[in-house]
């Protein structure tokens, strides 16, 4: 990608808001997930990154976490659209760390279509399996290892609130994530486990050039009120806020780092 996404600001030191925590982040090899993994490590957490097969990106993220921020980083490749893999992946995290304090369900895919008639069932299944089924499967597997004070953060999208004419299946999964987050927050309230979400607007991540035309990639984010896409670095602080004690009285809510678009959600 040119320019490369900005994941970290080395001039800003951490403040140990997540000291001693264990965080599992899906899609943590690149994009928003990588910025979140890096920031969490800077703030004192040990990290597990689940990703598909972008091994170079994952190793690069791991190198920063271990050698710049001196935290442990486990990288776990595999298809999160597969239920067995999701459950096996969580077992590996537990074997490595013993428990999980923070779960960030972030992995997602999308492909553009011009007409609903062009949406193949194979794509529909893949989008739902990766973008929302994995959230259910991973959360089910993680919850037995969480205790009061733990938290779950789910990545939705601005498209959940206003739709997307070329990303109908993707937007539908992101809407499902909003309802899942609010329902799970209520379900887990008495256990002291908070559940919140982040609904970003346009962000400069590898998902954009890999799934959109060159013209749309060049224009990505220009329709936001701020007239630009965000860098992953600008989205990650929302996740830190929701993962830390700063948000101890917040559950079932969404933050909207979307460049100024009002969505009332």
Domain boundaries, the chain: 22-255
Run of H or E including 25: strand 22-26
Average pLDDT over residues 142-164: 98
**What's the pLDDT band for 210 if we cut at 50, 70, 90?**
low
Taking each helix axis from N to C end, the angle separating 134-142 and 83-97, rounded to the nearest 10 degrees, works out to 30
Mean of pLDDT values over 25-41: 97
Residue 98: predicted pLDDT: 97
Question: Which bin fits 126, alpha (ψ -120 to 50), beta or left (φ > 0)?
Answer: alpha
Q: Domain 22-255 belongs to what architecture?
A: 3-Layer(aba) Sandwich (3.40)
Contacts for 144 with CB less than 8 Å, ≥ 6 apart? none
**Structure tokens, 81:** 């659209």
pLDDT at 1 > cutoff 90: no
pTM of the predicted protein model: 0.95
Q: Report how far residue 80's alpha carbon sits from residue 40's, in angstroms, rounded to the nearest whole number.
A: 22
At 36-88, the pLDDT tens digits run 999 999 999 999 999 999 999 999 999 999 999 999 999 999 999 999 999 99
Phi, psi of 75, rounded to the nearest 5 degrees:
-110, 135
Proportion of the chain above pLDDT 90, given as a percent: 89
Tell me: pLDDT of 135 over 60. Answer: yes
User: What is the average per-residue pLDDT within 157-168?
Assistant: 97
- Write out the catalytic residue numbers: 170
pLDDT at 30: 95
pLDDT of residue 8: 96
Q: How confident is the model at residue 265 (pLDDT cuts 50, 70, 90)?
A: confident
What pLDDT band is residue 211 in, cutting at 50, 70 and 90?
A: low
- 63: nearest Cα among 73, 51, 48: 73
């Amino acid at each position: 990608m040119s320019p490369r996404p900005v994941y970290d600001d080395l001039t800003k030191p951490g403040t140990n808001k997540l000291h001693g925590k264990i965080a599992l982040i899906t899609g943590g090899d690149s994009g928003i997930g990588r910025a979140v993994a890096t920031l969490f490590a800077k703030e004192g957490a040990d990290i597990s990154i689940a990703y598909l097969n972008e091994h170079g990106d994952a190793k690069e993220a791991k190198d920063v976490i271990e050698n710049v921020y001196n935290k442990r980083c486990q990288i776990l490749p595999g298809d999160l659209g597969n239920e067995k893999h999701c459950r096996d992946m969580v077992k590996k995290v537990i074997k490595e760390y013993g428990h999980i304090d923070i779960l960030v369900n972030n992995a997602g895919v999308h492909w553009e279509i011009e007409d609903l008639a062009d949406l193949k069932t194979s794509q529909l299944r893949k989008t739902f399996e990766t973008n929302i089924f994995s959230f259910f499967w991973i959360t089910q597997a993680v919850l037995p290892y969480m205790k009061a004070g733990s938290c779950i953060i789910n990545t939705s999208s601005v498209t959940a609130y206003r739709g997307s004419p070329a990303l109908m299946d993707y937007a539908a999964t992101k809407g499902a994530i909003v309802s899942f987050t609010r329902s799970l927050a209520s379900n887990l309230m008495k256990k002291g486990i908070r559940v919140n979400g982040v609904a970003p607007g346009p962000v400069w991540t590898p998902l954009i050039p890999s799934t959109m035309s060159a013209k749309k990639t060049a224009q990505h984010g220009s329709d936001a009120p701020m007239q630009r896409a965000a860098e992953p670095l600008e989205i990650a602080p929302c996740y830190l806020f929701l993962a830390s004690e700063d948000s101890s009285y917040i559950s079932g809510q969404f933050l909207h780092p979307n460049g100024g678009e009002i969505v009332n959600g």
